[in-house]
Amino acid sequence: MNITRNFCLNQLKQCQRRFAAPSIRWQTTQATSNQTTSNEEGTTHFGFQTIKESEKVEKVHKVFEDVAKSYDIMNDAMSMGIHRVWKDIFIERLGPQHGTCHLDMAGGTGDISFRFIKYLQNQANPKGLKSHVTVSDINQHMLNVGEERAKKLGLTEEKLSNMSIEWKCADAENLPFADNSYNSYTIAFGIRNCTHIDKVLSEAYRVLKPGGRFMCLEFSHLNSNTLQWIYDQYSFNVIPPMGQILAGQWQPYQYLVESIRKFPKQEDFKQMIVDAGFSMVRYENLTFGVVSIHSGFKL
């Protein structure tokens, strides 16, 4: 009886060893495969190109470094001056108030900040409340152009009453500002150039004070197929050659028109803002949806 029992136990142990080993090898292989997958870098878009996420910041930086000095001229030419109207409406929708601390992200050459300051200058300030604006951009070349423009327009801190202005080079995905620092946050024609839009929105939410407002002005998608076709013909066949003629740059403006097509549609971007935690989220189309103003509050 004992001989039979020992024989059976030995057979059982051999079977366990025989079938356990492949299982261990399979688990090891699977773990190695999972580790390789987790170490693979994600991809994103640069216009219509698919590139590594780590490459986008450098490529976008190069685009705006190349066009910094001609940026405002090209904006006028490409939009036939309509971008000025869009920005005016944008600031009117924001409705700045004295005593506000404002962050103008992707502020570059100062177009939005200058409008913010001038809007307050046209408002009575009987209590002498002090306001502040931080102009921030990831590209120092753009900020340099903005500071020079500010000096020419007399919009420097030395010449402004009850207003301070700061120029800060920073990444919208990783802001160097403290939580709950600003009453309002704007980003105009900049968020589509960021690698991780969700991180930009999360950072905007973080630095805003409770009750603070997020606003984004960005190229969008037309609500008419016919108008979209016309707009596409103009964008792809006119804007890059125009960039070559006026700024000596073709590729940055080819990237511009491609990046617009890759940006989420209005409803999709609205949901991204909601997902970041904002409330009372809405958008308004301008010029049939060529651009849209998106708005949300941190409550």
pLDDT of residue 1: 45
3-state helix, strand, coil in the chain (%, to 5): 55, 20, 25
Model confidence, pTM: 0.81
Q: Which of 161, 109, 99 lies closest to 132, judged by CA?
A: 99
pLDDT at 229 over 80: yes
Q: Give the length of the chain.
A: 299
HSE toward the beta carbon, residue 238, CA cutoff 13 A: 11
pLDDT of residue 31: 40
Of the chain, the end-to-end C-alpha distance in Å amounts to 79
| Token output for 171 | 């990444």
| Token output for 247 | 């700024």
Asked if 147 and 108 touch (Cβ cutoff 8 Å), the reply is: no
187 Cβ neighbours under 8 A, 6+ residues apart: 104, 105, 106, 172, 200, 204, 215, 216, 217, 218
pLDDT class of 16 with cuts at 50, 70, 90: very low
268-278 confidence digits (pLDDT tens)? 999 999 999 99
The Cα–Cα gap between 222 and 233 comes to 13
Residue 106 annotated as part of some ligand binding site = no
Beta bridge partners of 46: 49
pLDDT of residue 44: 84
Residue 137 annotated as part of some ligand binding site = yes
Asked if 162 and 130 touch (Cβ cutoff 8 Å), the reply is: yes
Residue 88 annotated as part of some ligand binding site = no
Average pLDDT over the chain, rounded to an integer: 86
Strands in 86-207 per DSSP E: 101-105, 131-137, 163-169, 182-188
CATH number of 81-220+264-298: 3.40.50.150
Residue 29 annotated as part of some ligand binding site = no
pLDDT of residue 249: 85
Tell me the three state secondary structure of residue 208: strand
User: Domains of the chain: which residue ranges?
Assistant: 48-80+224-262, 81-220+264-298
